[in-house]
Every structure is written in C-alpha cells, then in structure tokens.
Amino acid sequence: METNDSILKQIKKYSAHIDRFRARANTHGIWLFIATLGCWGVTEPSIRILAFVMLFFIFFVSSTR
C-alpha cells in the first residue's frame, strides 16, 4: 500500500504534466488557427484543399510526438 507522501508526489507530478499539456495545446491551437487563416487566403480551390490537407497532416504528425 502506498503512503500518503508517495500519493502526494504522484499527484504533483501529474499536475505538472497537465500544466505542460495545456501550455502545448494552447501553443498548437494558436498556430493551427493562424495556419488555417493562411489556407483560407489561397484563391485557387484545389490548392486550398491541398493546403488544408498538408496543414492537418503536419499538425497530426507533430501532435503525436
């Protein structure tokens, strides 16, 4: 059975992990929004779709790391 100190240590460690996750999610969200606005600025529909696909692929790959 775990002691109170070890449980408290795990809670603090998990809390720090949540804080880091929120900071990264906020940063990724801002860049995704800016990149999406950039894709909307493309006038050619086929290139716009390609830009959106590339954008989401890049963000999907970077978020899995």
User: CA 39 to CA 35: how far, in whole Å?
Assistant: 6
Q: Is the pLDDT of residue 1 over 70?
A: no
Q: What is the pLDDT of residue 63?
A: 67
User: CA 26 to CA 17: how far, in whole Å?
Assistant: 14
Mean pLDDT for 15-43 is 84
Q: What is the pLDDT of residue 24?
A: 79
| pTM for this entry | 0.52
